[in-house]
Each structure stands twice: as C-alpha cells, then as structure tokens.
Structure 1
Amino acid sequence: MLERLLEIDRQVLIYLNNFGSDTYDSFWKTITKFPTWIPLFVLVIVLLFWRESVKTAISKLITYIAVLLVVQSFVTITKNGIGRLRPNNDETINQIIRAVNQSHNFSFFSGHAAFSFCFATMAVLFLKDKIKLIHLIYIFPILFSFSRIYLGVHFPSDIIVGALVGIIFAFLFKGIYNYFSSKFLIN
C-alpha cells in the first residue's frame, strides 16, 4: 500500500513538474526564495499592531515567532529522521523531471509548505476580524509551495504534509495564545 502511494506521488510530481519551461524558470526561482516575500511578512507585522494595544500586538508577534521557530525545528527533526531523498537526488526519477534547482538535504516534509501555511493561517486567525480579505494571504503559501514541485525539489506529499503541519501548529499556537491572553492580557 505504501509503495503504491509513493508511486502515485512520483507520477503526480512528474506530471506537474513537466508543465515547466525555461520561460518560467526565473519566475519560480524568485517565488521560492524567502526574501521575495519579506514585504508580505512586514505587512503582516504592521497589521498585527494596527488598532491593537502594544501589549496585545507584542503578544501576538511573540506567538507568531514562537510557532514559526517550532515549525522549523519540527521540519528539521522530521527530515533528518525520515531521510527521504529529494526528487532531484532520487535516481529513480531525477532523469525524467525538470530539476531546475539542486538541493541536497532531505525532502519529507516541505519546510517551505509548513512555514508558509503556518504563517498564512496565523495571519488569518489573528487578523480575520480586522481585514475582510485576509484569506487572500493563502496565495502566498500556494505559490511558495508549488514552486518546490516546479523546481523538482519536493514531492506533492511533502507539500501536502508540510501544509497540514503548518496549519495544525498555527491552530495549536492560536489556542495557546487565547488561553494565556485570557488570563494575562487586558485590552
């Protein structure tokens, strides 16, 4: 059963990855880099402070930073523990995919997906009452995560699991924030 799922994962990667062309490579190489998204990160930080007490905004920012650090640590521990090769390093498929980027650490699960979906979910959870269109922030993790398939450095299952991990940790830390803010924060 697991081997069948892994084969489907490989076939979906091959299918999606082969949509790529030299024309779009530089776009996806830019999308996949964290610095490209710094304006979005700064905007979310500014919005955390918008119409909030300093104490509340700082508490939200600390929660945000804490969850992202925990997610990144969890990604690293999991990748090293599982040790799944990235598609560009997997000899069973690396000759039939477009490996635009080369990456040499492990694949399962995607740190890009975990980080970006956690970031976006936290933004939605913290800002949904202030900003009606905040759900549009999910464009960021969708593009950011898909770039990893396009570049040939992640399997679709890496992206799906990374996204789920990011979302779960966001809800967990929002719950922790709610618990402590109800006890210690007075707006």
Structure 2
Amino acid sequence: MLEQLIEFDKSFLIFLNNLGSQSWDGFWMVVTNKRTFIPMYLVLLYFMCKPLSKKDVFLLLISITFMIIFTDQITNLFKFTFERLRPCAQEGVLELIRQGECWGYGFFSGHSSNSMATAIFVGLMLRSLHKNLIYLLIAWSVVVAYSRIYLGLHYPLDILCGLSFGVFAGYGFYKVFEALRLRFL
C-alpha cells in the first residue's frame, strides 16, 4: 500500500511538473522565492497592527514569530526524521522533471506549511475587515506550494502535508494570540 502511494506520488509529480514550459520557469522561480512577498507581508502586518494597542501589537509580533519558528522547526524535524529525498535529488526522477536548485530532504514542505500558516493566521486576524481575504490568501498559499512541484523540489504529498500542517499551525497560533490578548487585557 505504501509503495503504491509513493509510486502514485512520483507519477503525479512527473505529470504536474511536465505541464510547465521554459517560458514559465522564471515566473515560478519568483513565486517560490521567500523574499518576493515581503512587501505583501508588510502591508498585511500594517493592517493587522492598525487597530491594535501597543501591547497587542507586541503580542501579535510574538505570536507570529513563534508561529514561524514552530512551523519551520517542526518541518525540519519531519525532514530529518523521514529523510525523504527531494525529487530533484533522486535518480530515476530528476531526469524526468524540470528542476530548481536542489539539496536536502523534502518531507514535508516548509514553503507550503509556512505560507498556509501565514494565510490562515492573517485571514483570521483580518476577517472582520475583509471577510473574503482568507480565501485569497489560501489561493496564494496554494500557488506558492505548486511552485515547489513545478520546480521539482517537492512531491505532491510533501505539499499536501505541508499545507495541512500549516492550517493547524495558523489556526492554533491565532487562538494562542487571542488567549494572550484576553489574558493580558
């Protein structure tokens, strides 16, 4: 059963990865670059902080910082526990896919988990101002996640697990922030 799932994951990766073309490679490299979205993060942070007191801004920044650290470190824990090579580092796969720079392990995707945690956290924080923003942020997270498949850096199951973990992390840290706010009101 596990072997069939891994084989399906490999076949699905090759299918999705080969949908791309050289003319789109640059676009997906920009999407996958963590620095690309810094301006968006700063704008969203501004809107999250705007209605908050100084104390609440401090709690918000602490919550976001710990969410990113938590998500990143759990991702690394999984990578070094399961030691699943990235597709672009596996013989028999790398010859069949378009690929970005490659090293290390890939299960599960840190880009996917961090972007989804951010999407959920920010979407919940700003839902009173923009009730549909969370859907746009989730779509953005899925695009970032797909960039990892497009570039041959992750298998689809790496992405799916990363996105799923990100949902829980984003929601959990939003609840932590709410609890801290109430406790230190």
Structure 2-normalised TM-score? 0.95
For residue 13 of structure 1, report the CA deviation from its aligned partner.
Answer: 0.4
2:143 alignment counterpart: 143
Q: What is the distance in 2 between the residues matched to 1:97 and 1:183?
A: 51
Code of the residue aligned with 1:19 in structure 2: it is: L
Code of the residue aligned with 2:110 in structure 1: it is: G
Q: What is the distance in 1 between the residues matched to 2:80 and 2:140?
A: 26
Residue 176 (str. 1) matches residue 141 (str. 2):
no
For residue 177 of structure 1, report the CA deviation from its aligned partner.
Answer: 2.1
2:106 alignment counterpart: 107
For residue 147 of structure 1, report the CA deviation from its aligned partner.
Answer: 0.4
2:65 alignment counterpart: 65
Q: What is the distance in 2 between the residues matched to 1:65 and 1:131?
A: 23
1:134 alignment counterpart: 133
Residue 124 (str. 1) matches residue 123 (str. 2):
yes
Describe the superposition over 1:84-136 as per-residue Cα deviations: whole angstroms up to 9, x where unpaired: 0100111131111122x121110100000011000111001111112233221
| TM alignment of 1:75-94, pairs within 5 A | 75-94=75-94
1:5 alignment counterpart: 5
Describe the superposition over 1:141-177 as per-residue Cα deviations: whole angstroms up to 9, x where unpaired: 1111100000011000000000111111112222222
Whether contact under 8 Å (1:45, 1:61) holds in the other structure is: no
Q: What is the distance in 2 between the residues matched to 1:68 and 1:129?
A: 23
Describe the superposition over 1:60-84 as per-residue Cα deviations: whole angstroms up to 9, x where unpaired: 2211111111111111121111110
1:160 alignment counterpart: 160
Q: What is the distance in 2 between the residues matched to 1:34 and 1:104?
A: 17
Describe the superposition over 1:29-67 as per-residue Cα deviations: whole angstroms up to 9, x where unpaired: 111001111111101110111222222222122111111
* Percent identity between the two aligned chains: 32
Structure 2: runs of 5 or more not aligned: none
Structure 1 SS opposite 2:129: coil
Code of the residue aligned with 1:161 in structure 2: it is: C
For residue 180 of structure 1, report the CA deviation from its aligned partner.
Answer: 2.4
Structure 1 stretches (4+) deviating beyond 4 angstroms? Answer: none
Whether contact under 8 Å (1:17, 1:97) holds in the other structure is: yes
Structure 1 SS opposite 2:96: coil
Q: What is the distance in 2 between the residues matched to 1:174 and 1:56?
A: 13
Residue 16 (str. 1) matches residue 16 (str. 2):
yes
Count of residue correspondences: 184
Code of the residue aligned with 1:122 in structure 2: it is: F
Q: What is the distance in 1 between the residues matched to 2:179 and 2:47?
A: 22
Whether contact under 8 Å (1:128, 1:134) holds in the other structure is: yes
Q: What is the distance in 2 between the residues matched to 1:98 and 1:177?
A: 41
